[in-house]
Amino acid sequence: MRYVIPAPMLAKAVPQVPDAEGYLFEPKWDGFRVLAAWDGENVELGSRGAKPLTRYFPELVAALPEILPEPCLIDGEIVIPVGPSGAQRLDWEALSQRIHPAASRVATLSRETPALLIAFDLLARGDRDLQPEPFATRRMELVGLLGSVPPPVHVTRATADAGLARRWLADFEGAGLDGVMAKRLDAPYSPGKRTMGKIKHARTADVVALGYRVHKSGTGVGSLLVGLYDGDGMLRNVGGVSAFTDARRLALIDELEPLVQRNADGTPVGAETERSRFSGSKDVSFVPLRPERVLEVRYDQLEGMRFRHTVQFERWRPDRDARSCTFGQLDRVSAYDLADVLD
């Protein structure tokens, strides 16, 4: 038996915890989304962006066959806790460092900063496909199968109490979590569809680095140009990211060098230009990058197909595939009549 790992079910941003009946709420874990499969012989860790994670978390690969009661396919999150007992929190930087090309480094980090698997859905148990079942059934099966297994696997807590979920939204941020999930109890598992709700502390989006402009001082990266894929698969420029420190601007030049698009003679592809009616005589040329590197940014609103203001760098997302960065993930502000504002 070998499990076919589907695309994960996705979430769309909602403004608040819903008070309606029929929901189960969970903490929103800040880690690498993973579909973890153990078929009785082999462990496979598949990521949301279709990038295999198996080689980067050998401690989980070793542990799962030892502690899982039977073959299964788990939807969950890989996280890394840091800090002393009683004051632990999730550490995104430690998690990001695990995506490393050197096997020796991965092995060292697996001992120094071991990961946990937070399980929040069960897609298969033995030879039974649970995806068509309502979430209420899948949750019951998840707790029944994994509720008593030891670390590094944990079943996420959940509640049907919207008031408690709102307290989680406020309280759990101090532990490094970044929101609350709202899931319909009657919903089947829908691969690739945004059928869950996510309530986060701020609007964020995963975007693709398209290029950079040199800082006005003449050295270092002044700003990154970022893009999203539209419904036709076209990569659209949606804005820029700036406000880097002097040291970070210089470091980015070296970090982005492998992605610079070059001519046959090795020189950077030149004179790429992004014009706007506000640019005037300002130099708006940029160094184009291969669209491979993903970063998470904070933004306030989308206007048309661009961020209204310069967005803020949050973190690199080495677990994400660039093609998965689409407009569909964005929280679009509902239309509102200006006349009602002026009245």
User: What is the C-alpha to C-alpha distance for residues 253 and 257, in angstroms, rounded to an integer?
Assistant: 6
| DSSP codes joined into one string, 139-159 | HHHHHHHHTTPPTTEEEPP-B
Strand partners, 208: 227, 294
Contact 114, 337 (CB under 8 A): no
CA 228 – CA 324 distance, rounded (Å): 9
Is residue 28 among the annotated active site residues? yes
- Long-range contacts at 61-67 (CB < 8 A, ≥ 24 apart): 63/152, 63/153, 64/36, 64/38, 64/117, 64/153, 65/38, 67/149, 67/150, 67/153
Answer for the pair 95, 30: CB distance below 8 angstroms, yes or no. no
- Indicate which residue of 28, 183, 198, 200 is catalytic: 28
Distance between CA 329 and CA 222 in Å, rounded?
A: 27
Which three-class secondary structure state does DSSP give residue 129?
A: strand
DSSP symbols for 48-98: TTS-B-GGG-HHHHHHHHHH-SS-EEEEEEEE-EESSTTS-EE-HHHHHTT
Provide the 3-class DSSP secondary structure of residue 313. Answer: strand
Catalytic residues: 28
